[in-house]
C-alpha cells in the first residue's frame, strides 16, 4: 500500500518536521507583517496554547491509528509529535512569563496558587517535562520498557489538565474547549476499552483483577 510506504520511508520525517514547525512560522510571519491584531500578546498566547493542545491530541491519536488502520510505522512520528507538544507548550509558557507577566515571579506564583485555570495549565505543562527528558532511547533502556510506558501515560493527565485549563479560562462560549475535551475523551476511552478487551482475551488465571465500579 503506497500510503504505508510513505509512512515508513526514511524521507518522510523531514517534511513532517517542517510541517510541525509551520504554525510557528505562520505566527512569526504575522508578527512581521502586523497581522497579530489589536492585542498581539493575547494572539500569541492563544496560538501557542492551541497548538500545544493540538499536538497533544495528535500524539494521542498515533496509537489508535496504528491499531485500527494497521499503520504500525506511524510510531516513528510519535516522539516527534510529543516533543512538538512540549515545544509549543514551552512557547506558551514563555509568552506568559516574558510577554504577559514580564518576569514578575511573585505575581506568577500567586497566579499558579490562586487561579485554578493557571494551576491546571501549569500542571499540564509540568507533567510534560519528565516526558520530554525521558524521550530518548537511552532513557527507555534505563527505565525499562514497562516502567517507561507507565511514566509516559502521564500524557493522559496532561491532556486532560490542558482541556480543563482551556475550559476554565473562557468566559462563556465553551464550544472549543468542549470540542477538545470530547476528542480527549474519545482517545482515552479507546485506550480503556482496548485494555479491557485485551484483558478479557487472556486466560482466566492471567487476567488483571478488575476493580468494581464505585
Partner 1 sequence: MLIRLAPDIRASEITPKRLYLNRRKFLAGLPLAGAAFMARDAAADTRLTGLTKSSFSTSEKLTPLQDITHYNNYYEFGTGKEQPADLAKTLRTSPWTVTVEGAVNKPKVFDIGEIMKMAPLEERIYRHRCVEAWSIVVPWIGFPLNALIKQAEPTAKAKFVAFQTLYDTKQMPAGRNAGIPLPYVEGLRMDEAMHPLAILCVGLYGEVLPNQNGAPLRLVVPWKYGFKSIKSIVKIRFVEKQPPTTWNISNAREYGFYSNVNPEVDHPRWSQASERRLGEFFKRKTLPFNGYADQVTQLYTGMDLRKYY
Interface pick for partner 1 out of 1, 10, 34, 201 (rule CB under 8 A): 34
Specify the residue, 115 or 191, whose C-beta has the smaller distance to partner 1.
115
Residue with the three cell numbers 527528558: 133
Handedness of CA 38, 39, 44, 46 (dihedral sign): negative
Q: At closest approach, how far in Å is the CB of 118 from partner 1?
A: 9
* Residue 31 touches partner 1, criterion: CB under 8 A: yes
Interface pick for partner 1 out of 81, 92, 111, 128 (rule CB under 8 A): 111
Question: Residue 47, Cβ neighbours under 10 Å: how many?
Answer: 20
Interface pick for partner 1 out of 11, 14, 102, 205 (rule CB under 8 A): 102
Specify the residue, 36 or 154, whose C-beta has the smaller distance to partner 1.
36
| Of 132, 26, 44, nearest in space to 93 by CA | 44
168: its cell numbers: 476554565
Q: How far apart are CA 134 and CA 178, in angstroms?
A: 31
Residue with the three cell numbers 476499552: 193
Contact 120, 161 (CB under 8 A): yes
Interface pick for partner 1 out of 99, 182, 186, 192 (rule CB under 8 A): 99
Q: At closest approach, how far in Å is the CB of 172 from partner 1?
A: 3
Treating both helix axes as pointing N-terminal to C-terminal, what angle do 116-133 and 78-94 enclose, rounded to 10 degrees? 140
* Residue 171 touches partner 1, criterion: CB under 8 A: yes
Specify the residue, 104 or 195, whose C-beta has the smaller distance to partner 1.
104
Residues that bind partner 1 (CB under 8 A): 28, 31-34, 36-42, 44, 99, 102, 107, 110-111, 115-117, 168-169, 171-175
Amino acid at each position: 500500500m503506497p500510503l504505508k510506504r510513505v509512512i515508513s520511508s526514511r524521507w518522510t520525517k523531514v517534511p513532517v518536521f517542517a510541517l510541525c514547525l509551520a504554525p510557528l512560522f505562520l505566527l512569526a510571519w504575522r508578527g512581521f507583517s502586523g497581522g497579530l491584531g489589536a492585542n498581539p500578546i493575547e494572539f500569541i498566547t492563544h496560538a501557542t496554547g492551541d497548538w500545544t493542545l493540538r499536538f497533544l491530541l495528535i500524539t494521542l491519536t498515533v496509537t489508535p491509528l496504528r491499531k485500527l488502520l494497521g499503520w504500525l510505522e506511524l510510531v516513528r512520528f510519535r516522539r516527534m509529535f510529543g516533543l512538538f507538544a512540549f515545544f509549543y507548550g514551552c512557547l506558551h509558557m514563555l509568552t506568559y512569563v516574558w510577554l504577559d507577566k514580564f518576569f514578575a515571579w511573585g505575581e506568577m506564583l500567586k497566579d499558579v496558587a490562586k487561579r485554578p485555570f493557571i494551576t491546571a495549565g501549569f500542571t499540564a505543562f509540568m507533567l510534560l517535562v519528565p516526558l520530554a527528558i525521558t524521550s530518548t532511547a537511552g532513557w527507555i533502556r534505563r527505565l525499562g520498557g514497562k516502567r517507561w510506558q507507565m511514566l509516559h501515560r502521564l500524557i493522559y493527565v496532561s491532556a486532560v489538565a490542558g482541556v480543563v485549563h482551556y475550559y476554565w479560562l473562557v468566559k462563556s462560549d465553551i464550544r472549543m474547549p468542549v470540542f477538545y475535551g470530547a476528542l480527549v475523551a474519545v482517545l482515552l476511552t479507546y485506550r480503556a476499552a482496548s485494555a479491557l478487551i485485551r484483558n478479557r482475551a487472556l486466560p482466566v488465571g492471567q487476567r488483571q483483577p478488575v476493580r468494581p465500579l464505585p
